Chain A
């Protein structure tokens, strides 16, 4: 397991996490909810955060870790400021979304599941955002880009690069 900081982020983040644990601990089956909130606070789920949740709920770290690694949405690694998610659902796939993903990877020089060095972008694939009418689609943050072709990718990514300057 990789090296982790002992502290749980900033004091504010830690306080927010404690509040979430306190508010939900008596609800049956609250672990998933707490992890979702924690990921919202930290952007990912580093080991100290998982430890804190385990202690807060009085369950073992292995149980928490087991749940985190089971679900695709929980991440052990930090994500980019702009999270790109290329849909590889069937409707998008038959319309060539694999070529969109390849173009995004080529343009950013990283592979699916990775984050650019400057932390600006990370790429993931997802299975259907339900916007099949616009296939092939990708999401950047909450924004959906539809009816894509590989040649549209660069312009979209450039607009994000521009915005971050």
Chain B
């Protein structure tokens, strides 16, 4: 394909995409030129697919055919971000945002809205888009979307994820065209350097510097790698980019190849992401077919190709040297650095590795310029960051905000606050390498450096909200279970250290902890941080250290008072029955798996039957009785 042909594809489909991006009045005008009266976008990302969006699409197509409607375009896209309300369906040009669709709802929407002259079915809309006076607010103006700024996710939920022509019309491959026709490799690197872009995978290393090191390394063979081994549990932005806009990653890797002088790229992706892997395979095949990968790209004389390598379930493979060892087909163990990968990486050749979200920022930086990009964000953290909001929060999903947005805005404005009227306790960022941010630091502007300063880290962008029912000692223990399990075992500080830290935390959650244990934890943590081979071991103590710093009282409560305020640590719980409240129905005793509940001979005033009691020696603390008592007579202390 030539540059001219690329431009022709873009021109051909441009209006179709514009309908999805313009405000309603302009979009309605534009739609008249596209040949489609309406476009229905249905999310085909993992979240919505899991809530059966496939059936929604099938039913939509079937009902449209039944109604003889053939001027409506059905588009399967990537993630819209609001996963908790899936399956999501948006109808353009109106921008009507339907949530939690079922086949029955689809039927209603087709027959009432999609038919010629039809009207929006308000009761099926995402309720935040319906104003109390009955008017409809554009979804971009709702609290969830209003404060967001979509750069990395610009095309997710906008284009058909398996159609390269829609990707091209939405702007993908315009940057490689610009780079190959008007920029030298040094121009590219200085643009990326000037943008201030820092790696979105965790450590936040300046991307341009990484590229310039690799360019400076001598050698004919170099590699460009993409880290799509999104191992941080609770983070799913990389998956969403691959599912929603895979071409932006392929394009960015090609640009990096041109900049550093590489001709081969590898994408290392988790096998746990079947949809992402499938879309990547389709995207690579299409890009090759269109001459956007392979020999002589766009007829401009540059060769670059990309292969996929599947991970097999090892968290440590997210570490750059371990990832490269794994691509080489070995046990994914990290290697000591130096030599750094930019000098000696994959197959011992100079290599750069960037994370999916980092790659997703390259096209806008090239197209709109470093100056524009660096105007967004904070002094040392430029651009936006995608967060995967999860845990005890109303709007679970994917959000992209400018660096420097406060946690309060993310949790209360965008995230819609904590469900069931519970109190916010902490936000966990950075996954197993990060820490917990307590309520009194909720107004901290989030960027790379501020998070480190308050004892956590950005990590890949998982943001798990914890409420009053979460025990901080238990959360630390959860992360240590994870890192102890995922430690590759190559170096002793990490292999033994994670295990011993876990033992100490287990001891505390079982009520057997001593005050000295806290000192031991701190000493051990310091040793692990200073002497582990890779970031896994160096950062594994972070969840413990940060909770110990901010929630020390909770640890002490477990140790001195054998008490778990959140009521999570089973060994410290005691169940009892309030004999005055107990009406003697016996539901507790009937369902007790340990036969620990028996009837007493006490009948409370006003009741007819004798109350029950729990034998603490037999009680296994499962809490079944509490769930079964309709009279709130079972107490947990």
Q: Which residues of A contact B (CB under 8 A)?
A: 28-33, 35-36, 63, 66-67, 70-74, 88-91, 93-95, 126-135, 137, 142, 144, 146
The answer to whether A127 touches B50 (Cβ under 8 A) is no
Per CB-CB distance, the 7 closest pairs between chain A and chain B, nearest first, are A133-B83, A89-B233, A91-B390, A72-B313, A71-B312, A144-B50, A29-B329
Give B176 Cβ to nearest chain A Cβ, in Å.
26
In the complex, which residues of chain A have a beta carbon less than 8 angstroms from the beta carbon of B236? Answer: 128, 130-132
In the complex, which residues of chain A have a beta carbon less than 8 angstroms from the beta carbon of B201? Answer: none
Interface residues of B in 76-95 (CB under 8 A from A): 82-84, 86
Interface class of chain A by DSSP: loop
The answer to whether A132 touches B50 (Cβ under 8 A) is no
Known A73-B313, A131-B83, A135-B390; judge A90-B428 contact (CB<8 A): yes
In Å, the complex CA distance between A133 and B466 comes to 15
The answer to whether B462 touches A133 (Cβ under 8 A) is no
Residue of B328, B388, B475 near A132 (CB, 8 A) is: B388
In Å, the complex CA distance between A71 and B322 comes to 12
The answer to whether B47 touches A131 (Cβ under 8 A) is yes
Among A66, A67, A70, A137, find the residue whose CB has the most chain B CB atoms closer than 10 A.
A70
The answer to whether A127 touches B482 (Cβ under 8 A) is yes
In Å, the complex CA distance between A31 and B428 comes to 37
Residue of B47, B311, B329, B428 near A133 (CB, 8 A) is: B47
In the complex, which residues of chain B have a beta carbon less than 8 angstroms from the beta carbon of A135? Answer: 390-391, 396
Enumerate 14 A-B pairs (CB-CB under 8 Å) in ascending A order. A28-B328, A28-B347, A29-B309, A32-B309, A33-B329, A70-B333, A73-B271, A89-B234, A90-B234, A91-B396, A95-B391, A95-B392, A131-B47, A133-B84
A-B contacts counted at CB < 8 A amount to: 136
The answer to whether B47 touches A127 (Cβ under 8 A) is no
In Å, the complex CA distance between A30 and B314 comes to 17
In Å, the complex CA distance between A35 and B232 comes to 25
In the complex, which residues of chain A have a beta carbon less than 8 angstroms from the beta carbon of B234? Answer: 89-91, 128, 132
Known A36-B271, A36-B312, A127-B231; judge A70-B390 contact (CB<8 A): no
In Å, the complex CA distance between A134 and B84 comes to 6
In Å, the complex CA distance between A31 and B86 comes to 39
Known A32-B309, A32-B312, A128-B236; judge A67-B464 contact (CB<8 A): no
B239 contacts chain A at the CB level, 8 A cutoff: yes
In Å, the complex CA distance between A102 and B333 comes to 32
In the complex, which residues of chain B have a beta carbon less than 8 angstroms from the beta carbon of A132? Answer: 47, 83, 234, 236, 388, 390, 396
Give B158 Cβ to nearest chain A Cβ, in Å.
19
In the complex, which residues of chain A have a beta carbon less than 8 angstroms from the beta carbon of B231? Answer: 127
New contact pairs (18) apart from A35-B312, A73-B312, A91-B464, CB-CB < 8 Å: A31-B329, A31-B330, A32-B310, A32-B326, A36-B310, A36-B312, A63-B330, A70-B488, A88-B233, A89-B234, A90-B391, A90-B462, A91-B391, A93-B478, A128-B235, A133-B83, A133-B390, A146-B50
Interface residues of B in 36-71 (CB under 8 A from A): 46-47, 49-51
Among A95, A127, A142, find the residue whose CB has the most chain B CB atoms closer than 10 A.
A127
The answer to whether A90 touches B315 (Cβ under 8 A) is no
The answer to whether A71 touches B313 (Cβ under 8 A) is yes
Residue of B at shortest CB range from A125? B485
Q: How many residues of B contact A (CB 8 A)?
A: 54
In Å, the complex CA distance between A134 and B82 comes to 11
Give B430 Cβ to nearest chain A Cβ, in Å.
11
In Å, the complex CA distance between A133 and B478 comes to 20
The answer to whether B51 touches A90 (Cβ under 8 A) is no
In the complex, which residues of chain B have a beta carbon less than 8 angstroms from the beta carbon of A133? Answer: 47, 82-84, 86, 390, 396-397
Q: Mark B453-497, 1 if CB is under 8 A from A, else 0.
A: 000000000101010001000010011001000001000000000
In Å, the complex CA distance between A30 and B475 comes to 38
The answer to whether B312 touches A72 (Cβ under 8 A) is yes
Q: Mark B272-286, 1 if CB is under 8 A from A, else 0.
A: 111000000000000
The answer to whether B464 touches A130 (Cβ under 8 A) is no
In the complex, which residues of chain A have a beta carbon less than 8 angstroms from the beta carbon of B51? Answer: 134, 146
In Å, the complex CA distance between A132 and B83 comes to 8
The answer to whether A131 touches B272 (Cβ under 8 A) is no
Residue of A at shortest CB range from B310? A36
Residue of A at shortest CB range from B478? A93
In the complex, which residues of chain B have a beta carbon less than 8 angstroms from the beta carbon of A33? Answer: 309-310, 329
The answer to whether B312 touches A94 (Cβ under 8 A) is no
The answer to whether B50 touches A90 (Cβ under 8 A) is no
B431 contacts chain A at the CB level, 8 A cutoff: yes
Residue of B at shortest CB range from A39? B312
B537 contacts chain A at the CB level, 8 A cutoff: no
Give B349 Cβ to nearest chain A Cβ, in Å.
11
The answer to whether A134 touches B309 (Cβ under 8 A) is no
In the complex, which residues of chain B have a beta carbon less than 8 angstroms from the beta carbon of A66? Answer: 331
In Å, the complex CA distance between A83 and B611 comes to 45
Residue of A32, A67, A90, A126 near B390 (CB, 8 A) is: A90
B327 contacts chain A at the CB level, 8 A cutoff: yes
Residue of A at shortest CB range from B624? A150
